[in-house]
C-alpha cells in the first residue's frame, strides 16, 4: 500500500470523482445541448467558452492559491463546478450556458480543467515520503485515467435502464453537480498542513 497521509487519500478520491464526472460529461455534453435545442454554432460557442474559461480560471485560481489558501481555492473551484452544472441542467439560454461554461470548469474534452489538477499536484508531495513521491504521482494519474474511462462508460446506463434521452442526459448533468458537491465536502476536510508552504514563504 502507498504511504499516504489522510490528505493524500482525500486527494486521490477527489481526483477519481472529478475524472469520473469529466468522463461522462465529455460524452454527453454535446448530445445534451443538441437535444435542448442548441444548433451546431451555439454548441460550438459553449464549447469554446468552456475551453477558454477553463484556461483562464486555471491561471487565475492557481496564481492566487498560495496567497489565499490552497484548500480555499479548491473549495471555490468545486462550488463553481456545481453551480455551472446546475445552470446546464436548468436552462437552455445560450448566454447563461456560456457564462457557466467560462466560470464553472466545464470539461467538454474529458481532460482536467480549472485549478484542481495544478493545486492537487502541488500538494501531493506533502502527503507522502520522498521515496514514494514518483510512485504516488503515477498512481494518482492512473486513478484519474481509469475513473475517466468508467465515467464515459456510465453514459450507457440511462438508456440501459430505459430512461428517455433528454431525461437521461439531464440525470447525468445532475450527477456532475453531485460529484462537485462531493468534491467540495472532501476539500473542506483537508488539513491546514497543506498551507504550510504558504506560511514558510511568508
pLDDT digits (tens, 9 = 90+) for 87-112: 999 999 999 999 999 888 787 776 77
Q: Are 102 and 52 in contact (CB under 8 A)?
A: yes
- The model's pLDDT over 7-37, given as tens digits with 9 standing for 90+, comes to 999 999 999 999 999 999 999 999 999 999 9
Comparing CA positions, the residue from 12, 20, 4 lying closest to residue 145 is 20
Task: Retrieve residue 88's grid coordinates.
Answer: 446546464
What average pLDDT does the chain have? 88
Residue-wise pLDDT tens digits, 132-175? 888 999 999 999 999 999 999 999 999 999 999 999 999 999 99
Q: How would residue 118 be classed by pLDDT, with cut points 50, 70 and 90?
A: confident
Q: What is the pLDDT of residue 56?
A: 83
What is residue 175's predicted lDDT score, i.e. its pLDDT?
96
Give the model's confidence band at 199: pLDDT under 50 very low, under 70 low, under 90 confident, else very high. Answer: very low
C-beta atoms surrounding 93 within 10 Å = 12
CATH code of the region 6-189: 1.20.1250.20
Give the per-residue pLDDT at 39: 94
Alpha-helix runs per DSSP H in the chain: 6-35, 40-68, 70-90, 94-103, 116-123, 133-154, 157-160, 165-188, 196-201
**pLDDT of res. 196:** 53
Sketch the domain layout of the chain as residue ranges: 6-189
C-alpha to C-alpha distance for 200 and 139, rounded to whole angstroms = 28
Q: Sorting pLDDT into bands at 50, 70 and 90, what band is 2?
A: low
pLDDT (average), residues 72-91 = 93
What phi, psi does 127 have (nearest 5°)?
Answer: -105, 5
pTM, full prediction: 0.88
Question: What is the model's pLDDT at position 51?
Answer: 86
Amino acid at each position: 500500500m502507498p504511504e499516504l497521509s489522510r490528505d493524500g487519500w482525500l486527494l486521490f478520491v477527489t481526483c477519481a470523482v472529478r475524472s469520473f464526472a469529466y468522463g461522462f460529461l465529455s460524452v454527453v455534453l454535446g448530445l445534451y445541448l443538441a437535444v435542448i435545442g442548441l444548433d451546431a454554432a451555439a454548441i460550438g460557442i459553449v464549447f469554446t467558452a468552456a475551453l477558454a474559461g477553463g484556461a483562464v480560471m486555471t491561471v487565475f485560481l492557481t496564481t492566487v492559491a498560495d496567497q489565499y489558501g490552497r484548500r480555499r481555492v479548491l473549495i471555490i473551484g468545486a462550488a463553481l463546478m456545481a453551480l455551472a452544472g446546475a445552470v446546464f441542467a436548468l436552462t437552455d439560454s445560450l448566454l447563461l450556458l456560456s457564462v457557466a461554461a467560462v466560470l464553472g470548469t466545464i470539461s467538454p474534452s474529458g481532460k482536467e480543467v480549472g485549478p484542481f489538477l495544478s493545486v492537487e499536484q502541488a500538494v501531493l508531495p506533502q502527503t507522502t515520503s520522498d521515496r514514494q513521491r514518483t510512485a504516488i504521482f503515477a498512481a494518482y494519474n492512473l486513478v484519474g485515467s481509469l475513473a475517466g474511462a468508467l465515467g464515459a462508460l456510465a453514459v450507457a446506463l440511462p438508456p440501459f435502464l430505459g430512461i428517455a434521452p433528454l431525461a437521461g442526459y439531464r440525470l447525468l448533468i445532475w450527477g456532475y453537480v453531485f460529484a462537485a458537491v462531493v468534491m467540495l465536502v472532501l476539500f473542506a476536510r483537508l488539513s491546514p498542513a497543506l498551507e504550510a508552504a504558504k506560511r514558510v514563504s511568508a
